Amino acid sequence: MFKSRTLIALCKTVFLPGKGKIMRNKLLVLLAVGAISVAAFLACDNNRTPGNGNNGGQEVPDVPRDQNEEFSLFEGVGFATIIGHMTNAQREATEKRIHDTIKDLATDPNAWAGDYDVVVDFFSTGMTFKIVFEPEEFMRWKTTGDGQTLYLNPDLLDSEFRNSVQNGVNAVFSREARVDGIQAEARGCQARGCQS
């Protein structure tokens, strides 16, 4: 009851002539400012841009952008980093592809002797995959001889990708510097046209 009496008293003050005129003008200005603020907010809200977190329920296009995303590689050990200009869907598909390929190779007796525990131990030593979209230094895979890093091109057919992972991991384990299966020193010699 008190609230309704207060509201009636406020209305009498605002809308009565004389002293209420100043109060009425203040109220009208306040209402006008409020209306303009609401209109400005709604106008900004309708001008949505991808990436600002407010897409109004509309699907934001998955456009290619530079990414450098790290994820756990195998059984929570080892890491892979996906590097390059790609869409989120490409990055997610590549992450799944590397996981599936490694799991398949770890249980294949013809690949890494099929000894799952040995593979987990090897990956726990700091094995790192660098998956590079549109690489310039190699076509399929590259190792540096550091015993830890394998660079992979994800744009390969499934069988080529599987072979690149298998052969690349073998080269990392052997601490060999290779580019697409050729020893790094021999590759330089081939490019210069010398006899090896």
Residues 164, 129, single domain; the answer is yes
**140 pLDDT higher than 70:** yes
Binned at pLDDT 50, 70 and 90, residue 18 comes out as low
Would you state the structure tokens that stand for residue 172, as one six-digit string?
């990392």
- Contact, 172 vs 150, CB < 8 A? yes
Q: Which residues face 134 on adjacent strands?
A: none
Q: What is the pLDDT of residue 126?
A: 80
Q: What is the pLDDT of residue 12?
A: 61
Which position has the token pair 């994800």? 154
Three state DSSP letters for 86-121? ECHHHHHHHHHHHHHHHHHHHCCCCCCCCCHHHHHH
* Number of domains forming the structure of the chain: 2
For 60-92, b where at least 16 C-beta lie within 10 A, e where not — what string? eeeeeeebeeebebbbebbebbbbbebeeebbe
**148 pLDDT higher than 60:** yes
Of 1-10, 115-124, 156-165, the least confident: 1-10
**16 pLDDT higher than 80:** no
Q: What does the alpha-carbon distance between residue 90 and residue 133 come to, in Å, rounded to a whole number?
A: 10
Higher pLDDT, 16 or 47: 16
> Mean pLDDT throughout 81-106?
90
Residues 30, 113, single domain; the answer is no
- Share above pLDDT 70 across residues of the chain, in percent, rounded to a whole number: 64
Residues 158, 88, single domain; the answer is yes
For the stretch 96-123, pLDDT in tens is 999 899 888 888 888 876 677 777 887 8
Residues 92, 171, single domain; the answer is yes
> Mean pLDDT throughout 150-171?
91
Residues 86, 27, single domain; the answer is no
Nearest one of 29, 1, 2, 3 to 14, comparing CA atoms: 29
Count of other CB atoms within 10 angstroms of residue 126 = 13
- Does 173 reside within a domain? yes
Residues 77, 151, single domain; the answer is yes
- Contact, 65 vs 51, CB < 8 A? no
Q: What does the alpha-carbon distance between residue 156 and residue 187 come to, in Å, rounded to a whole number?
A: 21
Residues 26, 113, single domain; the answer is no
- Does 190 reside within a domain? no
Give the structural domain span for 7.
Answer: 2-46
Residues 83, 153, single domain; the answer is yes
Binned at pLDDT 50, 70 and 90, residue 194 comes out as very low
**141 pLDDT higher than 90:** yes
Binned at pLDDT 50, 70 and 90, residue 139 comes out as very high
Question: Which of the given ranges, 6-10, 127-131, 136-140, has the highest pLDDT on average?
Answer: 136-140
Residues 36, 127, single domain; the answer is no
- Contact, 140 vs 164, CB < 8 A? yes
